[in-house]
Structure 1
Amino acid sequence: MSKLLKLGVAEGMPSECWELAFNRLNEDDLKSVSLVCKDFLATSNLVKKRLKPKHLDVTLLSRHLKRFTQLKEIDFRGFKGNLDEAICEMARSSGLVCLETLCFAGKSFKTQSLRKLGSNPNMKKNLKHLNCGGTKRLHDKDLVVIANLFPNLEQLNIKNFRPTAGKHIFTDYGIESLASKLKVLKKLFIAGAHLFTDQSVIALSLNCAFLEHVVIHGLPKVNDSVKVTEHGIGLLRNRPNLKHLSIARINKSLSNITIENSISHAKSLISLCFYCMDISDKLLMEIGKAKLQLKRFQIVFCRGFTGSGLCMLDYKYLHHLCIRNHFNAEILDLDEGIREIILKGDDHVANLTCIDISSFEVTTSTLFLLSTKCCSLVEIRFCGAKLSGQDNNIPLSKNHKLQKLHLCHSDDITDELLEQIGHILPSLKLLSLDGCFRVTSRGIEAILKSCKYITELNLRGYTKAKMMEANSEVAQVNLEELILEDSAIDDEGLAVIATKCPQLVHINLRGCREVTTNGIKQMVKNIKTLRRFTVGSDSEKVSVELLEWMLSTGYLASLKEIRFPKQTILTKGLKEAFMDRGCIMYFG
């Protein structure tokens, strides 16, 4: 970069060219180039499209709103200050001419603050996406304000927590207000203990002509929660544009309109998800007969279906299949059903890129069949799966496309199995062995030796002191992210990691009680690439000592983020010293 500047190339190139180049940079790289010269600072200010305020001081937000004039999204999820003051600051801003997306997820704000925000003509005209998911105080009056002041909303998230003191958060009245005013609404997410019924769904189906993505989830064990029935869901067939439907805890109905006899009308549907419901083989058969071009199909924590029912679905267009178990529910002949789906022929599952079969009992042979027969598969999730015996007569071939493998919380994952996986899946980039207590350094070394492209490894709960042996055949690996949370790794094991994983960008040592400050110091001396680091010790003394050592020695100059246990207390001076070096601290 300095050579370019010396040659005068930077000054000679039009700013539009630099904008095109800067648009390809991530947030961290954009910060770096903004420090090069005033011209780059000005250009990077124009290119920045997303802002995630964190600092308590709202005046800093005010300066950012003036500095970054082309913002399209502001995400307040990590904001530590007063959200009402921040919203009022946005309302007063004369900029924000490009802002389309606001995220207040998990926060609380006053209705009056929403009214002030809607008084800003740019906000009223341009706001398209509003995320209030997890907001604790969202009532009918708030939905009425949203409906009246932000008429151009295309996406609205009003998923919320349980109500306090037994009071519901909003009702049919609020939903009907949204349906009557938000004429261009495309995506709506509703979840929580809200007192609304089929009346709300009918209003949405009749008034929101462009509705294409609907999520309606009730909460468990909440009296008078969502009272939407199959009758209401069935009437969504009035929306020919409906592409995505996700429903949870929907009640049966005495009406002759059901999901079974309505699903064939949803010709545009490409994503269908059921949560915590009774799903019959008859419903699965009707979905298959409808010949929908489904790309995503999920059955999560549901009962009532069998492996034979799953075989009746049309998998021709499917990209993502998810079947998750709950409370050890027995699903008859599931393993046989999955095998039958795979063996129907390559064309039957030709487009399948991700499969998630969690907490069911399946055979190791099924895992290997998926790996070798599904030619487009990129990701497999077998979290909590009980892997039983293997059929040695199945011919196995290598799959060079599969990149992500999750084998979490399984007592059946052994070193021998990892060795086999390493031979079959040489192109793996992500491997998660979270909670696999039988795995040792032998299995990890074997798979890292065979799968040279693995950059992310999750060993949360690992029970051994060493991930790799110092004298192993594995020289250096390409790991960039390593999760060792709650593991038995000690200082000696950490030293081996520092030697064999010199390209680490993120390491998580939370809950690693055998790791000491001296062990961490020795590790960071060998790793110059760390950008994110999660401190393992719960001791405030250890955290302070480590940070002061980092400041005094200059190690970890590349560090951008440190996470501490929630109860850690650090001095204001220490926090500011790291902030001045571009490093943000998180707690919890």
Structure 2
Amino acid sequence: MDLSGNPFITDQALVSLSLNCLFLSEIGIRDCDFITQNGIALAMLKSGNLKSISMNGIGIPSIDLCFKDSFAYARGLCELDLSNSFISDELLCLVAEACLPLTKLVLSRCFCYTFDGIYFLFSKYQSLTYLDLEGANFLNDESMMELTKFLGNLTFTNLSLCSKLTNSTFFNLTKNCPLLSIINMERTNLGVEEFPTEIVVNPRVKSLYLAWNNSLNDECIKKAAYVCPNLEVLDVTYCSHITERGILGILKSCLHIRCLEINRFEGIKNLEIDFELPKLEVLQAEGLGINDEALTLIGKRCCRLSHLNLEGCLNVTARGVEGVVVNCKALKEMNLRWCNNVSVDIVAWMVFSRPSLRKITMPCGSVPTVNQRNFFLRHGCLVCKG
């Protein structure tokens, strides 16, 4: 039961739900201003079948004793989310000593805990499969090396905003966490430090979210592609030191790529794809300098393309758009906002030429009239203002 964002839920209401819903297994109470730590503790005590609880803002101004003790009663708790809270090593130790069947832990943007606290916690919960430590600025490559000894079962990890983590941590994760499928390391220090001498291929990794890493370069991203040959999703938005050569190298190495996000790439002036990408479905290319010839090539090489974002691509004209619409028979969504060299007159042609289209964002800051919007909707396509 997700009650998050409900300003009228109180401790009394939460406890009543816990008492009357005997099979209640999930509680979400994020941003519920009138629920206190005492209410949460009572709910955990009364919910014998509780498997998952998510909350935020805990520990302001301090953590109550009743809340600390409540984990000893939540014997079936598998998922714990304490995002944006002021927690302590003491609390983490109490969670560790509760001997829960914990598989998912979210401490995103939490404060006041240290390496010692999570080290003890992880040593007790080596069954964790989902770990979110976003914003844990005390973490560095050496501490992550220690922690991964306990994280062999991870399938998802989020280490974004951990600014001290470099290449070493990335390759350490892919080596020591063989089941990892999703790695999120946005706004870290990837691209810094030498590569480890031993690099182990991890065929399980399917998604890499590496946006806003200003030191990430072609060499590093090619190494990542080598380590993750079965990659399906890659987000390197705002990684300014990656060039067209690096992106083409990834696409040639990772033949299973379905989603590629390369928004706002200063290092890419064009993207001339001269080989087939039969599995690419989503291309986020906002603000790139690609021209009509490159866009037409993308249309010809990416037969399954369904979502294309060209917002702010100033070198694209109607000719390039036509190249995509004609060749991409599965195209569902196209964003042309701020493509100032694309005439709005092309929108009607797009709707009638490609029946699969479900959403078009108009170019040049244009706004469709009510009659136009309704007309296009009758043909199955939502046309939005640019």
Q: TM-score, normalised by structure 2?
A: 0.88
Query: 2-side partners of 1:466 and 1:216: how far apart?
Result: 46
User: 315, 333, 336: which one pairs with 1:514?
Assistant: 315
1:320 aligned partner: 130
Distance 1:205 1:490, change over 3 A: same
User: 229, 239, 262: which one pairs with 2:70?
Assistant: 262
- For the residue of structure 1 that corresponds to 2:86, the secondary structure is coil
* Code of the aligned partner of 1:550: M
Query: Deviation of residue 306 (structure 1)?
Result: 1.7
Distance 1:242 1:407, change over 3 A: same
- For the residue of structure 1 that corresponds to 2:92, the secondary structure is helix
Query: 2-side partners of 1:439 and 1:269: how far apart?
Result: 43
Query: Deviation of residue 454 (structure 1)?
Result: 0.6
Query: Deviation of residue 339 (structure 1)?
Result: 1.7
* Code of the aligned partner of 1:317: S
Distance 1:440 1:388, change over 3 A: closer
User: 210, 230, 253: which one pairs with 1:450?
Assistant: 253
Query: Deviation of residue 547 (structure 1)?
Result: 1.9
- For the residue of structure 2 that corresponds to 1:268, the secondary structure is coil
Query: Deviation of residue 465 (structure 1)?
Result: 5.1
Distance 1:337 1:261, change over 3 A: farther
Distance 1:565 1:215, change over 3 A: farther
2:36 aligned partner: 229
Q: Deviations over 1:17-57 (max 9, x none)?
A: xxxxxxxxxxxxxxxxxxxxxxxxxxxxxxxxxxxxxxxxx
Query: Deviation of residue 399 (structure 1)?
Result: 0.9
Query: 2-side partners of 1:256 and 1:529: how far apart?
Result: 55
Contact 1:230 1:253 in 2 (8 A): no
Query: 1-side partners of 2:328 and 2:50: how far apart?
Result: 50
* Code of the aligned partner of 2:36: T
Q: Deviations over 1:413-459 (max 9, x none)?
A: 11111110111111001111112121110110111111111111011
- For the residue of structure 2 that corresponds to 1:487, the secondary structure is coil
1:72 aligned partner: none
Whether 1:403 aligns to 2:201 is no
1:563 aligned partner: 361
* Code of the aligned partner of 1:511: G
Query: 2-side partners of 1:319 and 1:507: how far apart?
Result: 33
Query: 2-side partners of 1:196 and 1:527: how far apart?
Result: 49
Query: 1-side partners of 2:15 and 2:45: how far apart?
Result: 10
Query: Deviation of residue 394 (structure 1)?
Result: 4.6
Root-mean-square deviation (CA, aligned residues, Å) is: 2.8
Query: 2-side partners of 1:307 and 1:229: how far apart?
Result: 28
Q: Which moved more, 1:377-386 or 1:507-516?
A: 507-516
Query: 2-side partners of 1:356 and 1:556: how far apart?
Result: 38
Report matched runs for 1:134-533 at 5 Å.
187-191=1-5, 194=7, 197-218=10-31, 226-235=33-42, 236-251=44-59, 257-313=65-121, 314-325=124-135, 331-342=137-148, 344=149, 348-360=150-162, 361-387=164-190, 389-390=192-193, 392-464=195-267, 466-469=269-272, 475-478=275-278, 479-533=280-334
Query: 2-side partners of 1:255 and 1:203: how far apart?
Result: 23
Query: Deviation of residue 494 (structure 1)?
Result: 2.0
- For the residue of structure 1 that corresponds to 2:264, the secondary structure is coil
- For the residue of structure 2 that corresponds to 1:282, the secondary structure is helix
Q: TM-score, normalised by structure 1?
A: 0.59
Query: Deviation of residue 400 (structure 1)?
Result: 1.0
Q: Deviations over 1:356-400 (max 9, x none)?
A: 111112121110111122111111111111226446455211111
Query: 1-side partners of 2:355 and 2:349: how far apart?
Result: 12
- For the residue of structure 1 that corresponds to 2:321, the secondary structure is helix
Contact 1:229 1:253 in 2 (8 A): no
* Code of the aligned partner of 2:87: I
Q: Deviations over 1:287-331 (max 9, x none)?
A: 222221112110122101122322222343222111112xxxx63
Whether 1:585 aligns to 2:386 is no
Query: Deviation of residue 567 (structure 1)?
Result: 5.8
1:156 aligned partner: none
After the TM superposition, which parts of structure 1 deviate over 6 Å for at least 4 consecutive aligned residues? 253-256
Query: 1-side partners of 2:235 and 2:251: how far apart?
Result: 13
Q: Which has the higher helix share?
A: 1
Query: 2-side partners of 1:403 and 1:533: how far apart?
Result: 25
2:336 aligned partner: 535
Query: Deviation of residue 460 (structure 1)?
Result: 1.5
Please list every run of 5 or more consecutive structure 2 residues that lacks an aligned counterpart in the other structure. Answer: none
Query: 2-side partners of 1:300 and 1:218: how far apart?
Result: 15
Query: Deviation of residue 196 (structure 1)?
Result: 5.5
Query: Deviation of residue 468 (structure 1)?
Result: 2.8
* Code of the aligned partner of 2:240: F
- For the residue of structure 2 that corresponds to 1:264, the secondary structure is coil
Query: 2-side partners of 1:388 and 1:464: how far apart?
Result: 15
Equivalent pairs counted in the alignment come to 381
Query: 1-side partners of 2:141 and 2:97: how far apart?
Result: 23
State the structure with more CA Rg. Answer: 1
1:151 aligned partner: none
User: 542, 546, 549: which one pairs with 2:346?
Assistant: 546
Q: Deviations over 1:452-503 (max 9, x none)?
A: 1111101111225545336xxx522232110112333333432342343333
Distance 1:210 1:443, change over 3 A: same
Distance 1:488 1:440, change over 3 A: same
Please list every run of 5 or more consecutive structure 1 residues that lacks an aligned counterpart in the other structure. Answer: 1-186, 220-225
Query: Deviation of residue 506 (structure 1)?
Result: 1.5
Query: Deviation of residue 253 (structure 1)?
Result: 8.0
Distance 1:398 1:538, change over 3 A: closer
- Percent sequence identity over aligned pairs: 30
* Code of the aligned partner of 2:207: K
Q: Which moved more, 1:280-289 or 1:426-435?
A: 280-289
Contact 1:494 1:523 in 2 (8 A): yes
* Code of the aligned partner of 1:410: N
Query: 2-side partners of 1:512 and 1:255: how far apart?
Result: 50
Q: Which moved more, 1:563-572 or 1:411-420?
A: 563-572
